Amino acid sequence: MLELLKTANLALAFLLELGMLAAYGVWGFHAGQYTLARVALGIGLSVLAAVFWGVFMAPKALVSLPEWPHLAVALFLFGLAAAALWSAGQPTLAWIFAALVILNQVLMWIWKQ
C-alpha cells in the first residue's frame, strides 16, 4: 500500500510540474498588452521554465543541486506559479495548486523521493 502511495506522489509531482508550466503560460497570455506580447510571454515563459527545470531540477538533471537548495528553488518556482495563477484571476486554483505542492513536497521529503 505504501509503495502505491509513493508512486501516486511521484505522479502528482509530475502533474504539478506540468501545472507549473501551464500556470506560467496562463499568466503570460493574460499579461501582455498586445497579442504578440501575450503569445511570446505565454509560450516563452513556459519554455524557459521547462528548460530551467530540465537542467537543474529534474530527477536526471544535468546539474544536480544539493537537497536544501533544490527544495528552496522548487518551492520558489511553484510559488511563482501559484502567484501567476492568482495574478491571472484564478485565486481558487492558485490555492489548490499551492496546497497540493506543499503536500507533495512534504511527502517527497518524508519518503526521500
The helix (H) or strand (E) run that includes residue 11 is helix 2-31
What are the grid coordinates assigned to 40, written together? 511570446
pLDDT for 32 beyond 90: no
For 89-105, what is the mean pLDDT? 98
Distances (CA, A) of 33 to 23, 26, 40, 41, 48: 18, 14, 11, 11, 20
pTM of whole model > 0.85?
A: yes
Residue type, 61: A
- Tell me what pLDDT residue 66 has: 95
Confidence band (pLDDT; 50, 70, 90) for 33?
Answer: confident
Angle ∠(30,35,38) on CA atoms, nearest 5: 40
pLDDT average, residue stretch 1-21 = 97
Residues 6+ apart with CB under 8 A from 78: 16, 20, 97, 98, 101, 105
Count: domains in the chain: 1
Q: Which domain holds residue 103?
A: 2-110
Cβ atoms of 45 and 27 within 8 Å: the answer is yes
| pLDDT for the residue 60 | 92
Q: How many helices (H) and strands (E) would you count in the chain?
A: 4, 0
> Looking at residues 30-42, what average pLDDT do you find?
92
